[in-house]
Chain A
């Protein structure tokens, strides 16, 4: 734990976006996340790695309160975003999710047109006063997701008709359309082929200029390629959290080392 504190101080010169304190998640009787303390930095890509079932996705879903939708899930402890506890009674999860966008493992565009997919978020939050503004938001979001040039001539065609990689970028465009501050990505490239994966990774690298990006991944190579900070989860514990380079070259904990060298996981 001392190590952890130390690293947090090192990180102190950059702005902390989200900090979890003593975070616990229970699924019924199962204690899925135990005592997680972590500080996620702004304008940085943070990767969560770990073996299957280690709780990395569960913890990611705490950050935009997606666990609220599961009846048996219970979250304890504090998760502060810009110093405000997002589990406070005053915080509406709907408002939080507009600020914390999410991209899921399997591309899940709405069975609607590309335009409607991207404009849905801004529409329900009232971010555009008129059609022209909405058009502008759609274009800007699709450009940020590096999809604009491929779809600008067919915005009214169904989003489900795109290829897997394009669908995932459409989902990213949909997530950034509401101008979030944090972007959560739950294994965003695991259902994609290597070329589409490379495009997504390139995109993540660009997105970090505007957002704090948190990505869950199974692929250690991916974590090494795209992230600046890496957190290693094991059996519901946050084992180690440090600069990505340090985690992969000089892990402090033997469990991290075992996982990285392929002995567990």
Chain B
């Protein structure tokens, strides 16, 4: 620089700089394009995975949203079902007679042939008839029109899940059974309405009768318990740690532990709950209340972390403003900081609860995967939850449970999506600008 005059140096150095920028520009633009390419590829991959998942679940699951029913004219024979004998009575015989009316060739005194004939009806058909007659005993001696589910094998047949061109010995329904079913279909007695039983029935050994009512109510009680415990405790802990606790080694230690707690595998919480809640405290097994307590243990760290983040994000100027007019620490927190942090807290809580709703492992360990055929009346009754119900059905050998498992997954996903949508709605609705 010293041996050339400034007037020479300036244009030269400026020229070389421009040249250098121009040369490096191509390389930099290329890098940016590569990065963008990777990003787009990652998104496409993620979306296609999601689509594959949803397609596979929906394509299996949609079968379970309808159920094949059969309509029968049942003569409630007072000889088989005497009014004074209720709720006992020969309901199965009455149903067999109703079926026999369409197949005069079948001898109803032949037990094997009768069983073959009535196998088309769901095992629950007689109980449906019984409940109807018990509710209204004046039906005895009359003919009632009854619409009952058909059993799983025929349901599969009707939905085309049993291939008619499969060799008979590899098929669940033999040729004679198919012929009987087709005859009933020709008579217009077979229909495939919406499967409301999926929501209104509790679990059953028979897929055509199995529903999610018990699991839904169980999950509801468990989540309610979880919310009632983890929400106040989590917020309380977060407020104390964020606003009041002295900053020292002990509070650092607590903070690290809470963060670690959020990362503990859920099965460990299940073992803890099994030992503490059921072992020591003697709380009932399989109860949604205990499930809720367990889920609360898992949700609490999530809520504490979300709440602390929300409290931290309230601008210090608001605290100063409140302190400046003479608000006490307590008033600053409860009248200004907490209301402003609420949307963030609620979002975190709902996401924590959505996680809890889908949690399976801890519930398995406290026995919420029991086979329970009635919906729980209280949080202390035995019940299943949605994810454990999926687990049970996925484990069941009957063909009908394959589609019902997928249907239950769809129900669970619907609830999860609804909860996440609510979280997003709350966040947008109450978001404030400063």
Contact = CB atoms under 8 A, between A and B. Distances in A.
Interface string B324-354: 1111100100011000100000000000000
A22 to B, nearest CB: 26
Contacts of B340: 111
Interface of A: 64, 66, 69, 71, 94-98, 101-104, 106, 108-111, 120-121, 124-125, 160, 171, 174-175, 177-178
A121 B325 contact: yes
Given A106-B317, A110-B318, A111-B432, A94 B327 contact: yes
Nearest to B432: A111
A98 B326 contact: yes
B69 to A, nearest CB: 58
A160 B326 contact: no
A210 to B, nearest CB: 17
Contacts of B246: 71
Interface in B219-259: 246-247
A178 B326 contact: yes
Contacts of B321: 104, 108-110, 171, 174
A95 B324 contact: no
Contacts of B432: 111
B323 interface: yes
B324 A175 contact: yes
A91 B317 CA distance: 24
Given A101-B324, A106-B317, A121-B325, 15 more contacts: A66-B324, A71-B247, A94-B327, A96-B326, A102-B324, A103-B324, A104-B320, A104-B324, A109-B321, A110-B318, A111-B318, A121-B326, A124-B326, A125-B326, A160-B433
B318 A160 contact: no
Closest 9 CB pairs of A and B: A98-B326, A121-B325, A108-B317, A102-B324, A97-B326, A108-B321, A94-B328, A94-B326, A111-B432
A88 B150 CA distance: 86
28 contacts: A66-B320, A71-B246, A71-B247, A94-B327, A94-B328, A97-B324, A97-B325, A98-B326, A101-B324, A103-B324, A104-B317, A104-B320, A108-B318, A110-B318, A110-B336, A111-B318, A111-B434, A120-B327, A121-B325, A124-B325, A124-B326, A124-B327, A124-B331, A125-B326, A160-B434, A171-B321, A175-B324, A177-B325
Interface in B361-375: none
B322 interface: yes
Contacts, number: 65
Interface in B385-434: 432-434
Contacts of A104: 317, 320-321, 324
Contacts of A171: 321
A125 B246 CA distance: 27
Contacts of B317: 104, 106, 108
A120 B319 CA distance: 13
A71 B327 CA distance: 18
B240 to A, nearest CB: 15
Contacts of B318: 108, 110-111
A113 B187 CA distance: 72
Nearest to A104: B320
Contacts of A66: 320, 323-324
Contacts of A174: 321, 325
Given A108-B318, A110-B336, A111-B434, A175 B323 contact: no
A110 to B, nearest CB: 6
Contacts of A64: 324
A96 B323 CA distance: 11
Contacts of A178: 325-326
Nearest to A99: B326
A168 B326 CA distance: 18
A69 B434 contact: no
B323 A97 contact: yes
Interface centre among B317, B324, B432 (most CB of A within 10 A): B324
A8 B53 CA distance: 82
A66 B321 CA distance: 11
Nearest to A95: B326
B320 A101 contact: no
A10 to B, nearest CB: 32
Interface centre among B247, B317, B322, B325 (most CB of A within 10 A): B325
A265 to B, nearest CB: 26
